[in-house]
Amino acid sequence: MKKKLCKGITALLTASLLMGGCAFDDQIPDLSDEEMKMVEEYAAHLLLKYDENYKAAVISAEEYEAERARLKRLAEVRAEIERMKAEEEAKKEEEKSKDGDGSSEGSESGTKQSGPVFTDIDDFFGIEGLNIDYTGFSVAKAYPDQTSANDWQGVVTATTGNSLLVFKYTISNTTSDDIYLDMVSRSPRFNFRVNDSFSKASMFTVLLNDLAGYRDSIPAGESREAVLIIEVTEAQALSVNKLTMIMRYGDERGEYSLLY
């Protein structure tokens, strides 16, 4: 559609330019390659000027299509978030009755719960061909801390008096084929038990690299970074000495020690 519209604009511009100098001529003279290029470039800029997704920058057709694909993935993630939020609220009530007296934060009690221990996140979720490895965490007031002018995925910001714990993961494709990872369809749930004293559920975000909502292709032999984020008080962020990730997938529950 874009290409047809662009060609249409080009044709109109060409005709209007020529009619001004050849009003009484039945034949439209050929434009030189350089003149046609100028007309096409002007038409392209005119089209992009009125495209709501366009930012003031010169982009190639490949870059334009890549941006459209990225925004489509973002829209899909946003659509799933509302469903996941409602589902999470329902499961919180159910898990409180299973796990203890309901004194927990984020659907996990403050004391350690029994459950199988996993060293491989990908094994727990039944993901083949990809390795998902925990690589560490950082304390921040906002994530990501740097964004480009055309980055529309938003920024997760800690509320006043709090900080973010950003847990980082590397998703590696160890095969010779591209693999599409769709975490959204698995409806994963993540909690983090801190110092065996309290627990927090990972935040819902629209970050494209949020592990809980990850939906993208991992090229063969390449890796991508993903994150999970929780919010804690500033004092709690400075005193982290033990971390456990609790994973839920369907009726399965597993634990993964991150720091001990």
The beta-strand segments (E) located in 158-208 are 162-173, 179-182, 189-194, 198-201
Could you read off the pLDDT tens digit of each residue along the chain, which spans 260 residues? 544 445 454 554 454 444 444 443 444 445 555 655 555 555 555 455 445 454 545 567 777 777 777 666 666 666 666 666 666 666 665 665 554 433 344 545 544 555 566 668 999 999 999 999 999 999 999 999 876 655 556 789 999 999 999 999 999 999 999 999 999 999 999 999 999 999 999 998 989 899 999 999 999 999 999 999 999 999 999 999 999 999 999 989 999 999 98
* The pair of three-digit structure tokens given for residue 102, joined into one six-digit string: 């309901």
**DSSP at 225:** E
CA distances from 225 to 101, 142, 167, 185, 233 (A): 36, 17, 11, 19, 26
* 146 burial level (CB within 10 Å; 0-12, 13-18, 19+): exposed
Residue tagged 């390659």 (tokens): 33
* The pair of three-digit structure tokens given for residue 77, joined into one six-digit string: 């993630």
* The model's pTM: 0.62
DSSP, collapsed to helix, strand or coil, labels residue 126 as coil
